[in-house]
Amino acid sequence: MPDGADAVLDVKGLKTVFRTRGGEVHAVNSVSFHLRPGELLGVVGESGSGKSVTMMSLIGLLPSPPADVRAGEVLLKGVDILKSTPEELRAIRGARIGFVFQDPMTSLNPVFTVGNQIMEPLKRHMGLKGKAAEDRATELLELVGIPDARKRLKSYPHQFSGGMRQRVMIAIALACDPEVLIADEPTTALDVTIQAQILELVHELRRKLGMAIIWITHDLGVIAEIADRVMVMYGGQIVEQAPVRELFGNPHHPYTRALLKTIPKLGDERDERLQIIEGQPPILTAEPSACPFRARCAHAFDRCERENPLRRPIDGQPLGRGHDVACHWNPEGADA
Amino acid sequence: MLTYTIRRLLLAIPTLLFISLVIFLLVDLAPGSPASQIPLTVPPEVRMKILESMGVNEPVHVRYLLWLKQFFVVEPLVLIDSTFGTAFAEGQQRILSWQSRSPVFDIIVERMPQTLTVIGSAYVLGVLIALPIGIYSAYRQYSWFDQLGTFIAMIGFSVPTFFTGLVLILIFAVELQWFPSIYDTSLKVTDWDSFLAQVRQMAMPVMVLALYNAATISRYMRSSMLENLGQDYVRTARAKGMSERVVVLKHVLRNSMIPVITVIALGIPTIFGGAIITEQVFRVNGLGALLIGAIQGSDLPMVQTLTFIFAVLIVLFNLIADILYGILDPRIRYD
Ligand SMILES: Nc1ncnc2c1ncn2[C@@H]1O[C@H](COP(=O)(O)OP(=O)(O)O)[C@@H](O)[C@H]1O
Ligand SMILES: [Mg+2]
């Protein structure tokens, strides 16, 4: 991206392929984006659109085999971490990039105390020991709003509720003051009130700590509430990217438009939201040579079949800075 | 946990009583009497006297109750007497072997060391071999190491121990003459040479049983590790930047050991069963050989007592396995 220079994280042309028995699955196709300091970037898309695989590719969290990160650069403050050794990557994970996962019920190790699991990165990355590690762990639990923190260090994960466990996960991710926090659907498994509390917590932590955040969700309602900028993913690629107001006010891609229509209005059944877009996301057995959305797109025409659209700016700003979209169709009538 | 343990112990009492009754009656139905051990030259009246003195002519429930009393009261008292020099059991009738006329428990105590050294060390060795193999096979699933491990484990638990035993005897004792084919129980370890002799005579039975135990336990270890390696908390540990050593040997192993330790504990009494065959093959004069001899000689008290001891061990180690599970898994609270 042209303005990648001031970015904490600058991802260029990332490609991730899974080698499976049934052949290759191209889960991430030439994904480029950047994250500015202190920014909250929302990532949306149906499940299977490649959100998790993209983020896990960044920091080498995918098991290989079957995963193979084939191409791309991931610049963390200008240094390409895809070229780092496994040992260097480990020094980055949990220290400079924190990760929170979807399911707090299974993401903590059931047989170790919460304190043990929070202190692990403190010991490894910050060299804290004994009392110092314990003090910092207590501080972290207090930071994420867990009452009676020092005593709770000795509790096991099953002694916490789902929401409290997700707070613990956030405390672990923030343990070493990371520059980037990646949260992969952190509230999907929680019920609505708890979800609101976690979002509130993230607002507060951003204010206090100022790290940049990537927030993955398939819930545009959440994005509207917390994101500065939004990236819409489909079929392993970014199909639209814009500041949050611009995206909600002026959506371009037919997929984004369809997604926006699926935001539940008061009284709607929650479960029915995503089924409004007819059809299934594609399973990509090769690098797509056509638009991955064409089969489900109401506006598809012959060019969509021939050529996978590249991202293009639509508001005159340089690519990546303003509003861009990967679509041949032009809502104003004339084909692009 | 304590109340749970006590409750389980109390529950074990009726279980064991029932098992003891079944064992006693089944064995009692078998043909055989101490009369067959008395030389035919003894006149019939004297013969009857001897039998009476052994309580053989009493009705079956009286004999059962007497045996129970002897097993649970008299023999423990004898044990206390011999440790503390007291005399609680004086004048009490102990369980006597029909074959040798000496107390069953004295013979068992005499045979125990052979079984424990051979079978016990085979089990410990088997576990020590199995755990690293299981861990590494799972971590490198489908690698050549894993494939080889799977192959050897298949052989290990599909080929019966008497067969592997005979093959080993043919190769190492008959052909190569590295190891003796018969276990010499009278060998006492006093110096380096006798120690080496002991190791050499133990080598084959230990190898056979260790291979079998390692085969089963390594499979359990492997599948338990595989199950845990795919868990979300493993990804969390990696996302924290933990080294692979910590991820595998702390996070995954600690979880995987829970079912494996249970299996190991449950397997301890069954190794005595396995010992029966191996002891026959290698002529180890241990408890297994004792049981076979007692069955062949219709020595009912010996058979009843040995079988019941196996049953007690099984119940006991079931309890131990459950308690270990509770200790190892913080999610389980028995109270
Ligand atoms: N282990 C795997 N093996 C093969 N394909 C995979 C694997 N993990 C993910 N994929 C593929 O990657 C695609 C994107 O998955 P993911 O990133 O998890 O989607 P989401 O947007 O829901 O997070 C999936 O549709 C799937 O086809
Ligand atoms: Mg996902």
Mean pLDDT estimate for chain B: 87
The pTM assigned to this predicted structure is 0.85
**Domain extent at residue A110:** 103-175
Q: Is residue A110 part of a domain?
A: yes
Instruction: Give the minimum alpha-carbon distance from B236 to chain A in angstroms, rounded to a whole number.
Output: 6
Percentage of chain B lying above the pLDDT 70 cut: 95
How many domains are there within chain B? 2
Ligand 1 mean position to A182 CA, how many Å?
A: 17
Atom 8 of ligand 1, residue of closest alpha carbon: A53
Neighbours of B187 (CB within 10 A): 13
Q: Is residue A164 part of a domain?
A: yes
**pLDDT for B38:** 67
Instruction: Give the minimum alpha-carbon distance from A303 to chain B in angstroms, rounded to a whole number.
Output: 42
Q: Is residue A30 part of a domain?
A: no
Interface of A with B in 167-186 (CB under 8 A): 169, 172-173, 175
Residue B308 has which token pair? 């019941």
**Domain extent at residue B70:** 14-84
- Whether chain B has a CB inside 8 Å of the CB on A233: the answer is no
**pLDDT tens for residues A47-102?**
889 999 999 999 889 988 888 888 889 999 888 998 999 999 999 999 999 999 98
Which DSSP category does B95 fall into? P
Q: Is residue A116 part of a domain?
A: yes
Q: What is the mean pLDDT of residues A310-318?
A: 85
Strands A212-216 and A40-44, bridge-based pairing: parallel
Q: Looking at the structure, do residues B156 and B224 belong to the same domain, yes or no?
A: yes
Distance CA A199, CA A221 (A): 12
Distance CA B86, CA A227 (A): 83
The predicted complex's ipTM stands at 0.89
Q: Looking at the structure, do residues B78 and B119 belong to the same domain, yes or no?
A: no
Q: Is residue B334 part of a domain?
A: no
Return the closest-CA partner of residue B94 out of B305, B291, B296, B298.
B305
Q: Looking at the structure, do residues B254 and B303 belong to the same domain, yes or no?
A: yes
Using the atom order of ligand 1, give the atom closest to the CA of residue A281: 25
**pLDDT for B32:** 64
Q: Is residue A14 part of a domain?
A: no
Q: Is residue B2 part of a domain?
A: no
List of residues 6+ apart from B301 with CB closer than 8 A: B67, B95, B96, B97, B98, B104
How many domains are there within chain A? 1
Q: Is residue B96 part of a domain?
A: no
Distance CA B222, CA B312 (A): 30
Atom 2 of ligand 1, residue of closest alpha carbon: A18
**pLDDT for B316:** 92
Ligand 1 mean position to A21 CA, how many Å?
A: 15
Q: Is residue B333 part of a domain?
A: no
Q: Is residue B210 part of a domain?
A: yes
**pLDDT tens for residues A188-226?**
888 888 888 888 888 888 888 889 999 999 888 889 889
**pLDDT for A276:** 59
**pLDDT tens for residues A282-298?**
777 777 888 888 888 88
Q: Looking at the structure, do residues B78 and B120 belong to the same domain, yes or no?
A: no
Q: Note the ligand closest to the C-alpha atom of A283.
A: 1
Residue A315 has which token pair? 């508001």
- Helical H segments across chain B, by residue range: 2-29, 44-53, 60-69, 75-84, 104-115, 121-139, 144-158, 161-168, 192-229, 232-239, 244-246, 253-282, 287-296, 300-328
Type of residue at B133:
I
Q: Looking at the structure, do residues B51 and B143 belong to the same domain, yes or no?
A: no
**pLDDT tens for residues A130-178?**
899 999 999 999 999 899 999 999 999 999 999 999 999 999 999 999 9
Q: Is residue A224 part of a domain?
A: no
Atom 16 of ligand 1, residue of closest alpha carbon: A50
Q: Is residue B42 part of a domain?
A: yes
Distance CA B198, CA A87 (A): 49
Distance CA B274, CA B213 (A): 10
Residue B135 has which token pair? 């861990």
**pLDDT tens for residues B188-246?**
888 888 888 888 888 888 998 899 899 999 999 999 999 999 999 999 999 999 999 99
Given an 8 Å threshold on Cβ–Cβ distance, is A172 in contact with B233? no
Q: Note the ligand closest to the C-alpha atom of A47.
A: 1
**pLDDT tens for residues A5-42?**
588 999 999 999 999 888 889 999 999 999 999 999 99
Higher pLDDT, A184 or B274: A184
